[in-house]
Amino acid sequence: MTYAQSLKFGSSLCFGRKFDLDTLREFKSHGIDAVELSFSFDYYMNKLDFPKNRYQLAKIAEEAGVELWSIHLPFSRNLDISHPSNELRAIALYTNRTLIEAAGDVGIKVAVLHPSSEPISDEERPERLARSREAIIMLQEECDRHGLKLAVENLPRTCLCNRSEEMISLLAGTGAGVVFDTNHSLVEDSVSFLSALIDGGLDIYSLHISDYDFTDERHRLPGDGINDWRGLLSQLERAGYGGPLMYEVPRKPKERDELTYDELAENMRRLAAGEI
């Protein structure tokens, strides 16, 4: 058995873009045992009303036999923990705290957090980094209270954490770890980026697995891009990562045909077996 074959298969619910029993049963029937909640503010707070209905939603997952592994906290240009507007930043923090508390109540293990939105100019970057770090410390305390791990995501383009050195500096001493996205590194290759984070003492709490072209994020299946998957898995094994192989691939990746659950599951099998 390979290292990757010892890990659970997981998928972001961005693949189906909804939370219901049929969707979760579809994942389970294809050998996908863990999911990440990944929705907009509107879907979380209005359609699902996750804070109010968390226990009922957790029962749906239990009935389907699927683990609610992580919750991707919602984000937008305005829903941003580094936002220069105190009013908008306060809304982002309140939203995140509310969802973290609800997620902890139903046993979700990891809260995934974007350290910023974009665009961010070079001139405003130091202040945005300071505001993001302050918020990460506050949200780490919230996660500690409710039994979750806070996983900050590496991001592309002008977002914060678009380079390993910046990410290590931002997170050092905060208690937060990392959710590593394999299609966001546009300055360093993904293996070098991940290796630097590990060497910098950051814990890898979860993953967003997809492939890309090193030009921009694409969220395609592994093998449909330039990632060195054996190198990435080797780094994860070195780090002692034991969470799911959590894919973040939509039903229709950029410039590709719509995927089926069979194609998603077969790709997971091939990745874990070292065939990609």
Please report the pLDDT score of residue 98 as a whole number.
98
Please report the pLDDT score of residue 99 as a whole number.
98
Q: Judging by DSSP bridges, how do beta strands 177-181 and 110-113 pair with one another?
A: unpaired
How much is the average pLDDT of 143-158?
Answer: 98
Q: Taking CA 217 as the corner, what is the angle to CA 77 and CA 86, rounded to the nearest 5 degrees? A: 15
How much is the average pLDDT of 192-211?
Answer: 98
Q: State the total domains in the chain.
A: 1
Average pLDDT over the chain reads 98
pLDDT at 16 > cutoff 90: no
**Residue 100's CATH number:** 3.20.20.150
How much is the average pLDDT of 115-126?
Answer: 98
Tell me which DSSP letter residue 151 carries. Answer: E
How much is the average pLDDT of 231-236?
Answer: 98
Domain that holds residue 149: 4-272
DSSP 163-211: SHHHHHHHHTTT--EEEEETT--SSS-HHHHHHHHHHTT--EEEEEB-B
Gyration radius (Cα) of the chain, Å = 18
Query: 176, 206 in Cβ contact below 8 A?
Result: no
Indicate the pLDDT class of residue 93, thresholds 50, 70 and 90: very high
From 112, 50, 51, select the one nearest 81 (Cα to Cα).
112
How much is the average pLDDT of 92-121?
Answer: 98
| pTM for the whole structure | 0.97
Could you report how far apart the first and last alpha carbons of the chain are, in Å? 16
Please report the pLDDT score of residue 273 as a whole number.
98
| Residue 15 buriedness (CB in 10 A; 0-12 / 13-18 / 19+) | buried
**What is the C-alpha separation between 167 and 152, in angstroms, rounded?**
9
Phi, psi of 37 (to 5 degrees): -70, 130
**What is the C-alpha separation between 270 and 267, in angstroms, rounded?**
5
